[in-house]
Chain A
Amino acid sequence: MVKNVQAGVGQFVPAVRRHGAPIRITVDGEALDARAGDSILAAVLLRRRALRRHEFGGELRAGFCLMGACQDCWVWLDRERRVRACTTTVTEGMRIDLDAPDEEPASFD
């Protein structure tokens, strides 16, 4: 969980306006406003400086390749389905966890 990052300031910055409908998602149980068309990564990084903590070293990470190659931005949906935040679009009510559930995920994107 990325706590010690300045709240409300995103790593990403909107270059143009997004018209999509407002979408509510939760990230580690915390509500987060997104817009239709946002990728999970954009939705999070428009509001936070990092996505997750590295599972081995614990340092902050925010993805890297942004095109589905490096897999640095895995998140979990409903505590079971593993997806890449950079290539997965938000949907209303999406429940996102940033850390792996204890068991092997049942599915992926």
Chain B
Amino acid sequence: MKTITKVEAGERRKTFIFLIPSLLGVLLFFILPFLVVIRYSMIDNPVQGNFVFLKNFISLIQNNAFRRAMMNSLTFSVIAVPLAVVLSLMLAVLLSGNLPFRTQLRTVFISPLMVPVASVVLIWQVIFHYNGVFNDFLALFGVTAIDWLKSDYSMFVTVTLYLWKNLGYNMILFMAALAAIPKEILEVAELDGCGSVGRFFRIKLRYLSSSILFVSILSLINSFKVFREVYLLTGDYPYDSLYMLQHFMNNTFRSLDYQKLSSAAIIICIIMIIIIGVLFVIDRRFGEDIEE
């Protein structure tokens, strides 16, 4: 191991000055208030401040609105995230080949990423309204009209909108990862008579494992943002199955219930950390024999 001289250590320390503005901001705007959030979650009210430990969490978990919001958001993520990962990987593999027009196709698939949700909700309304285009289209096949945004089928709409917006980003990530796989290995496999399907499952997938991890985490975070579509389409009080965590948070902000807000934020934070941790462990198991 290299030993560091005193002079060098001093120089190294000096570069910390560059971090100070950012670190101060992060401490002030995220870390310190988060400590306050932890405190709020364990006291009975901000004025008296009696320590109640887990009482706020228990009453939150028993709260019907919170449970519905949590269930809806998690159900959405469980359906949407795997679809987003698999479909974008398929697109990336197809567009990484030598297909004609692939750059143009790539551009098209990325473009929804640029479009603010608010700009396209009008079109989504025209399509998924009870009298809308999608029902007209389904009627050709004899399907009776469904009020998409006010029924239990609403998940279909939100997943579609989510995929439309997010596939492009994931696809770029996968295309970058595919391009980084050493060509020699693929060529050797081809000479050994390994078909394109075999090459994909036996080689590419192994090399992609850390990208799959990252895309999954990213898709998970973005799946919480589907609130935007839901809110802009249906407002503060949507159909039951569309009531998302952010709706719950917004309503709780309105009633200024700090205890509820804080304990909800902490529960969501813990769930996120657990999910990300699990994904990391899976990734380590799966990709351990591949040096990066």
A, B from the same assembly: no
